[in-house]
Structure 1
């Protein structure tokens, strides 16, 4: 959502810092991994759907590429840049290599961000036509990429015909498509207990519920006719070529009252299971991705029951906001224990076989490069961490070239135009960009400046994505933490596991050289999958594997008999 959740983030961070997590190794990382099935082990993903081994790329269409000179990105512009994302040839290494695109809202909307939808069947005219959208799906599929779109059904825009009719009279046939009451009950915004922003808004002698603001009234998903309409719309867009949906504000869908009744209700879970079953019936390999910005144990519940459906019968992917917070905190503190502890906690509470959806940042967050202070080594760490974790990683457009936030404090500053080159118009438009470029686009933080530079951040992302895709263990395997989860840990080490295959991954999160290991893992020789410059040879001593890594370096090795 385009509204801040700062207090929720702070609460989640505080909760994580206070949680007690078992250590799976001594400070030197020398103990063997915990036995199979113990707390802290993340199991390999269940199911064989395409998305369980994909790398996603989040696109804000308005900011990606303008094709007609009006300063706003559009669908034809995005089509023109598909080869940058994936050229369809697995033998090439000069594309980014992502497997799927998540498009932020593309439906008709009066706002720049699109989360106040006024027509769920029509493409935003700023972006093009339905024919443009269908061509985008065809061209992406031809290159081996999938497309998912933001499906914003927690609320609509206040100008949507459904709401206009609902508000027209208490006897309107669509009155119960929204949440109405005779008075304001004084509910708070559930992510901010101290908020004074209203959640009930007066209209025509009554009050309607709009948890974010009055311009986005909440839909009443208790109403059977609305539920059926939402399922019809999902079927429509699946038939038009999409491969799934990202679900905005998923934990706030159905309310049972104020306070705790505004989030994570049993009714919300029941609806997501209903929608998931419908989507599986219409297109069995389509994916639903949940935005459930909360603590790790709460996010775990949104996978549902894994007994009958591999990976869960509710939302197959859920963004891992708590892990993002610990990655950024750990990198800024030069301490991998923050990250290791979160991974151990995930292993203890996530259902076996689910697919995580790790991120660094997204469109609601201050960009990762800004949060890391523009530090090149930390940005390199972040890329390597994201692309060696289990699950289905999501990149936010521009992260691969180190895009920072814009110079303003609003949400638009998190969503500035993509810097294709260092010219004043950035290769983004021939007109005037709808919003200014973020700092640095003219001094190295652009695609053109980094494309042919072997040590650039863009080259690093490209190489790591291709390494991940070439390894079933990295793309589908489980994980066991080898590093310390308390105190200070200069490196994060874990082993990725799938069947009999094991891949050792070590990240040095400090600026100094570190000696890592010994790691008591099987194998007699190591095949290098990825090594930063200066990483020493991984050797097998009597007490385990060990190596030396220079500052901010990563090593990835397949351990062989």
Structure 2
């Protein structure tokens, strides 16, 4: 391959800004707080930070309801604070990515206030309006991802508007060329400011079937899945025209040097691949969430990785994710011991990894008392486990008050063991989770085979997952025990005599892996 770009050999670190570091004592993280922690991220060894939405917002969905795409919410700071953060990141060699939320805005955005003012307002068509059904009800059976109808009736104009999420988040109409130009100008605004790329929220949602037919019923639906799964989102997501939007965004990004676009797309692999672009380039990295959803079983994962590698289009760069602000944390899904093995998997597969803040110290989901629930999804459909607050709790930095996150009351409670599970303690503790992440990231920098090399599977059985990473003459062996019992492994002839570069276990005989052990030979 040609010389890899930064986003191909680098590692991205996701920051949920409300929960990272508070600088003013209001209990909510902010931009100055993030800036104060950049040296900690440099010490960890990541290459880029992605910050979840920081735009002005009524916070109906904590920033994913944007009221101004080219501003900063006062809770987080000012544009000057953002510019200072961006410069500080760049001065340290860190790239900075923002969240772009193009599917929907806030209902308080000036565009929507104009759109709902009258039928003949010039911005009426910037959002999706439809007449009622013959019975006066919603235009079709589409269901919001947060439960309930995806249509909200507007008494003043006698029509419904569409919202894939909360009613406070009306969907933008990307079929309107004026809206399309305005949103592409948003990308240019931030690129001109020096932003290195964007994670694009719910990219696959952005175009709807032009005729708005009913979605088919989901024959596998159970109430535990959430109301949104009563129907299959056949007509409300993943429409062919969405790829033209991705191509437009890519053309904007390609007008600037070394920018990257990452698309949030929850689709099966065969449909995910289309977002790399067909005929014209799409986003650089369609997020690959398979490690979040897959059964944690060696043979299944081996097949999943091989199938994903085989499906990639020519020139398509892979990427991997273990967790994010919407899904349960790795330490909760696998337990702390196996979360170490999962970290080794994430950081030794071919492609760009994304680390979710707090995973590097083994933070787990936090049980949120009912009277402290903030997440609108949990408030709308309580008790079925869809709430996102448990994975958005404050970062633990040290054993001072509130784990060093804030001098005030944190907006969400901390994990119970924050006095021992925090960054300061783990940086000084041999074999801690932080040390493992740090050492894995250092190995990626030292060994190009781990960052950009080929991935070659090695056949094994039981709970073992093994593969080779190869770059030019360098060959490294990765072996992972995904179970809690010892497993024997036949070391390939080419790897005999290689040294253990890193292990999650005791570093004994490489031919026998202990429970929850992984190692890298090189």
Which range, TM-score by smaller chain?
A: 0.7 to 0.9
Query: Would you say 1:200 and 2:151 are equivalent positions?
Result: yes
Aligned equivalent of 1:168:
117
Deviation at 1:196, TM superposition (A): 6.0
Secondary structure in structure 2 of the residue aligned to 1:504: strand
Aligned equivalent of 1:446:
422
Query: Would you say 1:427 and 2:380 are equivalent positions?
Result: no
Aligned equivalent of 2:518:
554
Query: Would you say 1:156 and 2:105 are equivalent positions?
Result: yes
CA contact (8 A) 2:199 2:263 kept: yes
Which of 534, 539, 543 in structure 1 is aligned with 2:506? 534
Query: Would you say 1:121 and 2:70 are equivalent positions?
Result: yes
Deviation at 1:530, TM superposition (A): 2.1
Deviations 1:45-73 (A, max 9, x none): 77722101111111011111111111111
Query: Would you say 1:385 and 2:345 are equivalent positions?
Result: yes
Query: Would you say 1:376 and 2:344 are equivalent positions?
Result: no
Query: Would you say 1:403 and 2:356 are equivalent positions?
Result: no
In structure 2, how many angstroms separate the alpha carbons of the residues matched to 1:71 and 1:106?
Answer: 16
In structure 2, how many angstroms separate the alpha carbons of the residues matched to 1:196 and 1:114?
Answer: 19
Residue pairs, 1:445-484, within 5 angstroms? 445-484=421-460
Higher relative CO (CA 8 A, sep ≥ 6), structure 1 or 2?
Answer: 1
Aligned equivalent of 2:32:
76
TM-score, structure 1 as length reference: 0.81
Distance 1:518 1:548, change over 3 A: same
Deviation at 1:303, TM superposition (A): 0.9
CA contact (8 A) 1:337 1:483 kept: no
Distance 1:121 1:489, change over 3 A: same
Which of 308, 315, 339 in structure 1 is aligned with 2:283? 315
Deviation at 1:236, TM superposition (A): 0.7
* RMSD over equivalenced CA pairs, Å: 2.0
Structure 1 segments unaligned to the other structure (5+ residues): 1-44, 87-94, 539-546
Deviations 1:506-551 (A, max 9, x none): 112223332212436x46752443234533466xxxxxxxx22222
* Runs of 4+ more than 4 Å apart: 522-525
Distance 1:247 1:528, change over 3 A: same
In structure 2, how many angstroms separate the alpha carbons of the residues matched to 1:138 and 1:346?
Answer: 37
Aligned equivalent of 1:211:
164
Deviation at 1:218, TM superposition (A): 0.5
Distance 1:432 1:493, change over 3 A: same
Q: How many residues of Structure 1 are paired with residues of Structure 2 in the alignment?
A: 476
Deviations 1:96-142 (A, max 9, x none): 11100010001000116200000011101000010110111111111
Query: Would you say 1:436 and 2:413 are equivalent positions?
Result: yes
Deviations 1:474-523 (A, max 9, x none): 11122122135xxx622110111333432211112223332212436x46
In structure 2, how many angstroms separate the alpha carbons of the residues matched to 1:337 and 1:237?
Answer: 43
CA contact (8 A) 2:341 2:504 kept: no
Distance 1:412 1:250, change over 3 A: same
Residue pairs, 1:96-135, within 5 angstroms? 96-111=44-59, 113-135=62-84
Which of 200, 210, 216 in structure 2 is aligned with 1:247? 200
Aligned equivalent of 1:304:
277
Secondary structure in structure 1 of the residue aligned to 2:181: helix
CA contact (8 A) 2:458 2:466 kept: yes
In structure 2, how many angstroms separate the alpha carbons of the residues matched to 1:196 and 1:394?
Answer: 29
Secondary structure in structure 1 of the residue aligned to 2:352: coil
In structure 1, how many angstroms separate the alpha carbons of the residues matched to 2:298 and 2:75?
Answer: 44
Aligned equivalent of 1:338:
300
Secondary structure in structure 2 of the residue aligned to 1:425: helix
Deviations 1:176-200 (A, max 9, x none): 1111111222232387xxx961111
Deviation at 1:154, TM superposition (A): 0.5
In structure 2, how many angstroms separate the alpha carbons of the residues matched to 1:241 and 1:54?
Answer: 18
Structure 2 segments unaligned to the other structure (5+ residues): 133-137, 216-233, 369-384
Deviations 1:321-377 (A, max 9, x none): 123322xx32xxxx31121010121123221332222111100012221222xx331
CA contact (8 A) 1:340 1:483 kept: no
CA contact (8 A) 1:190 1:262 kept: no
Aligned equivalent of 1:287:
260
Secondary structure in structure 1 of the residue aligned to 2:139: coil
Deviations 1:432-474 (A, max 9, x none): 11221123213x2211221100111111111111111222111
Distance 1:365 1:532, change over 3 A: closer
CA contact (8 A) 1:198 1:213 kept: no
CA contact (8 A) 1:188 1:196 kept: no
Deviations 1:230-287 (A, max 9, x none): 1111111011121000100110101113432211111101110111012101x13111
CA contact (8 A) 1:181 1:207 kept: yes
CA contact (8 A) 2:163 2:171 kept: yes
CA contact (8 A) 1:297 1:350 kept: no
Distance 1:518 1:352, change over 3 A: farther
Query: Would you say 1:52 and 2:8 are equivalent positions?
Result: yes
Which of 183, 189, 192 in structure 1 is aligned with 2:143? 189
- Which is further off, 127-136 or 469-478? 469-478
